[in-house]
Structure 1
Amino acid sequence: METRLYFIRHAHSVYTPDERERPLSESGYADAQHVKEVLENERISRVLSSPYKRAVQTVEPLARSVGSGIELMEGFRERQLSEGPVDDFAAAIAKVWSDEDYAFQGGESNREAKARGVAAALEVLERYPGERIAIGTHGNLMVLVMNHFDSRYGVEFWRELAMPDIYCLRFDGVELAGVERIGITVAGP
């Protein structure tokens, strides 16, 4: 029985230091509508999301279209890179991807964040076998989950993601059967 998880990296957001409450930008709202339009015909049965506002706002139009609420799952929140801002974001990301056990003070290592995200994905696969489920999430966490199932997905893949971006992971039970990028035209920041 095939289960499809549609991982949706959130649309462009307005920067605020409050990670949980960072909202979508004007172009992000337009892109959330595109997400809905692209996925309307995929027979999505339910919508899940990271509790972070930008992820929820990205999947809200889709949830309304599907006629479903949004089930929030803490396991799909973005990885905590550090307890505060880092001086060089690109270098910090390179560091955590080069050493899966390295964590900045107050942050999660790739191993920790991946374990959390994979546990959430496996929970979804167990609870909703055979369904097609949209999941609003974040780029780094999405790629960490994908990397667990297929090591080809790493930091270089993450660097190429758009905002928003959609990847459909097809599963036979808990075994990855395939990955497909769902094309979407984005408004951009």
Structure 2
Amino acid sequence: MSPAADKTIYLIRHARASGQEPQAELTAEGAVQAERLAELLAGRGIERIVSSPYLRALDTIAPFAAAAGLPVEEDARLAERVLSAAPLPDWEERLRASFLDPELRLDGGESGREALERGQAAIAELERSVGAGKAAAAVSHGNLLALLVGAFDPAFGYDGWRAMRNPDVFELAIGEGGARIRPIRDGK
């Protein structure tokens, strides 16, 4: 946790998974990543965990939750953004366009703004529930997390999304002077 932060929220992207569907499991590599994530999060004062209901998100945080003796609360607002109801051969071009135009909504999907607003509502509720000097963890997915990180760092955008890892962790430090976000990588 950042020393000047009153509260800290760790925004976590799930570990490597076998697919994109809600019931996609972690790969063998993803299971190892989840164990390493537990080590990374240990000792950071986390007192509450919320997660996307997608299996890969739940399985990513399970080793840490077990080690910390904390329950994992599911929150559908942390589920991945649905870009389109139908498979798109040019999905990445469409995703890039959606970072440039947050109102862009494809058939059966949600706009970046809609996804961001539901994600922000979940994080705001989590932040209100955490005591001073404490932390919480929120486990989600790449597109939604990129939108959330971008709300604090507008330069993040599509290129930030492309550079994200599985898993990835961002420390959102909230204090009297506002909020700051930074990646936590390699234990730092």
**What TM-score does the superposition give when structure 1 sets the normalisation length?**
0.90
Contact 1:7–1:168 (8 Å) recurs in 2: yes
Describe how 1:2-151 pairs up with structure 2 within 5 A.
2-15=6-19, 19-130=21-132, 131-151=134-154
Q: Which letter does structure 1 place at the counterpart of 2:33? A: D
Give CA-to-partner distance per residue, 1:7-52, whole Å, 9 cap, x none: 1100110026xx2111111100010001001111212112110111
* CA apart distance, 1:174: 9.6
* CA apart distance, 1:89: 2.4
Question: Structure 1, unaligned stretches of length 5 or more?
Answer: none
In structure 2, what is the Cα distance between the partners aligned to 1:175 and 1:141? Answer: 22
In structure 2, what is the Cα distance between the partners aligned to 1:82 and 1:150? Answer: 26
What's 2:182 paired with?
180
> Cα distance 1:174–1:116, how it changes in 2: closer, same or farther (>3 A)?
farther
Runs of 4+ in 1 over 4 A off after TM superposition: none
**What TM-score does the superposition give when structure 2 sets the normalisation length?**
0.91
Give CA-to-partner distance per residue, 1:54-82, whole Å, 9 cap, x none: 11100000100110010111111110111
| Sequence identity (%) | 32
* CA apart distance, 1:173: 6.3
**What is the root-mean-square deviation of aligned Cα atoms in Å?**
1.7
In structure 2, what is the Cα distance between the partners aligned to 1:103 and 1:77? Answer: 17
Q: Which letter does structure 2 place at the counterpart of 1:151? A: P
